[in-house]
Structure 1
Amino acid sequence: MNRALYGPKWASHKDELLWSFAFLEKPDRNPHWHLLIRLYDHDLAVRNNRITKLEVRAAEIWQKLVPSGTADVRRIVHGHDRVASYVAKELGHELQYADFVTPDEFRRLL
């Protein structure tokens, strides 16, 4: 996704790359992820353009990674506290503590 947003030299945009926090839900019966993503763009027009690209390209990119999967992208415009509670609702279970992905988990590999 970073490549789609920032181009082939996306790794050089370290301060602008997608920030995300992913939560695995129902791993034993209907595994799926809830992913919160924040874009770092101070220019509103650039940010809106990148959000639109994210909305358009996310499903295509996810299906390359998981051919049987789907993606449902929803822009959050208000109610951040409710969204955070919803996506993290299963964190109280031991398995979830072992299976969430932190924001910069893979950045060290760049």
Structure 2
Amino acid sequence: MSKEYELNSIDAFRTRLAYLKMTDDMQPDTYLSLVANKQIGITGFKLKLKKFFGHLDRTYLGPKWQKKSRDERTDGIGFVEKVGSHIHSHFAIKSPANAYLWNMKINTEEIWNKICPSGTYDVQLITARWGLTGYNTKEQKRDDYDWHDQVVLLRDFAT
């Protein structure tokens, strides 16, 4: 981890709380876990995530999805874990208006299997945001957590 992003324990605690609040303020509706099931590194994994969410937005918003406003597109925050071994991510997302849980599961399976054939996924309706976000950010308690690379804001993927 770069010294630039190292936080002392108090700063790390405050940063984790800020992510908890940010997630709660977003009012996400869907929990999404994406797993690579092979070692591809953080850069390769984040490229797959960007591709996945682009395909997901195209599915719901059509071929001109990139021209849609940020508020119409999938938004969310994710946390990448187990970078050195079993890389995976946990997301709290606010889905496009026409996305429903049943078709989100079908679309996630189809898209993730194309992008990451070895991968697995989990999609669930969010019922308790604080509990979920606490789970999603559990690895941030580790001293070696990379606050720069392991936090994924879907807005950063916007083109």
Instruction: Quickly name the TM-score band, shorter chain normalised.
Output: 0.7 to 0.9
Q: Counterparts of 2:136 and 2:115 in 1: how far apart (Å)?
A: 22
Instruction: Specify which of 60, 69, 80 is matched with residue 129 of structure 2.
Output: 80
Instruction: Specify which of 91, 99, 105 is matched with residue 156 of structure 2.
Output: 105
Q: Counterparts of 1:96 and 1:56 in 2: how far apart (Å)?
A: 32
Matches within 5 A, 1:1-110: 1-14=56-69, 15-41=71-97, 46=98, 50-51=99-100, 52-76=102-126, 78-93=127-142, 94-97=144-147, 98-107=149-158, 109=159
Paired letter, 2:65: W
4+ residue segments displaced more than 6 Å? none
The alignment's TM-score, normalised by the length of structure 2, stands at 0.57
Q: Counterparts of 1:86 and 1:10 in 2: how far apart (Å)?
A: 31
Contact 1:24/1:31 (<8 A) preserved: yes
The alignment's TM-score, normalised by the length of structure 1, stands at 0.79
Deviations 1:3-48 (A, max 9, x none): 011111112222200002111112223211111111253xxxx4xx
Paired letter, 2:153: T
Give unpaired runs (5+ residues) of structure 2: 1-55
Q: Greater relative contact order (Cα 8 A, min sep 6): structure 1 or 2?
A: 2
Give unpaired runs (5+ residues) of structure 1: none
Q: Counterparts of 1:64 and 1:40 in 2: how far apart (Å)?
A: 21
Q: Counterparts of 1:66 and 1:40 in 2: how far apart (Å)?
A: 23
Deviations 1:48-89 (A, max 9, x none): xx123322100210121111101111111x211100100111
Q: Counterparts of 2:68 and 2:153 in 1: how far apart (Å)?
A: 19
**Secondary structure at 1:73 match in 2:** strand
Q: Quick one: percent identity of the two aligned structures?
A: 29
Q: In the superposition, relative to structure 1, how do residues 66 and 40 fare at CA in structure 2: closer, same or farther (>3 Å)?
A: closer
